[in-house]
Amino acid sequence: MKIDTSSTQNTNQLVSQRRVINAPADTMLQLLPYKYLWAPEFFDKMYANSWHPAEINLNEDAAVWKGSALTDQEREVFLRSLAFVSNLDTVQTYSLAHAISKHITAPEIQLLVIRQLFEETIHVLSYTQMIELLGLDPENTYGRYRHDQALKRKLDHICEPINALLDPNFKTGSFEDNQKFLEALVNNILLEGVFFYSSFIMFYALARNNKMLNSARMIGLINRDEATHCGLITLVVNAMVDENPELWTTEFQAKMIDMVKRATDLEIEWGKAIIGNGILGVNPENITQYIQFLADTRLVAIRLPRQYYVENPFPWVDDFTQIDQELGAFFETTVSRYSQEAPTFEQSSLDW
């Protein structure tokens, strides 16, 4: 996309043509008046959630890691979980920067994706800090997929729709390519809203047993961000479907349901591979139910039917992800939220 100043259209004309993709690109990033009225809320929310990994003191966790408090199984669970989330945020950073953002033509969504990309970068830096301060072998985290087949299968599955967009000849505009882009967005929801979670739960299970508390605090901040990103991309998917209902065929919906079910199976497989017969209250039965619950939640959010009809077996996860509340029962560290005053916006009226 080039920076273009040749347009002679006025503001209302530009905004009235605004679409998620395939609209005249507003390269001046003219936000007002907003077409997508949920955009200012997400700007405010993401800004208020700002944090930096240096806020989390991992010295106590380093002492626990180097001591004898952790069992061999707990160490392996921690390492495999860290390996996957670090790989996954790397994939997401690359996906947003090189596969998704360049095809979006709505400026408010472009800026939200850029902010999301910044937050993914913070996550990558967070894992780097954990690896460094705990004295871990980078090859055993970043490169673990090279000898962990369950991990490699997950990564290959996640990367397939992304790689389709990375083809240098790919361009939205045709029915087939628009569906490919929509599929990549749904895959992004699964990346943010399903694939992280069997690993996240392991950090929280350790913390509930008073182990690696500040690592779990950092993961809770990352989890909070990912939940926000999942909500954002869900709105983008629904907006794109509303603008292009011809893409949302019965066959395509069935394909998306199958994709969610495949993602669910892979995440359950990974969760079971991590925990074996069970650890710290997490067992094959409840990790299965948890991932199925998450999958149903994501399906309903994009207007597709539930497939599993199960309840959340781990409601206590919220204790770790609602970081803006006091977590004194779990943590005794510094405040993790800047709590900036987010700016407010006046929304001009415009009929669509």
Alpha helices in the chain (DSSP H): 11-16, 39-48, 59-66, 72-95, 107-133, 149-166, 175-190, 197-208, 213-243, 250-275, 284-301, 318-321
Closest residue by Cα to residue 56 from 121, 125, 3: 125
- Of the residues 34, 36, 47, 127, which is catalytic? 127
**Cα 67 → chain centroid:** 33
C-alpha to C-alpha distance for 154 and 274, rounded to whole angstroms: 13
Overall size of the chain counted in residues: 352
How large is the greatest C-alpha to C-alpha distance in the chain, in angstroms?
70
φ/ψ region of 135 (left if φ > 0, alpha if ψ in -120 to 50, else beta) reads: left
Annotation says 197 is catalytic: no
CA atoms within 13 A on the CB side of 273: 18
C-alpha to C-alpha distance for 225 and 233, rounded to whole angstroms: 12
For residues 68-81, one letter each, b for 16 or more C-beta atoms within 10 angstroms of the residue's C-beta and e for the rest, the string is eebeeebeebbbbb
Q: Give yes or no for a contact between 257 and 264, defined as CB atoms under 8 angstroms apart.
A: no
Q: Which residues are catalytic?
A: 127
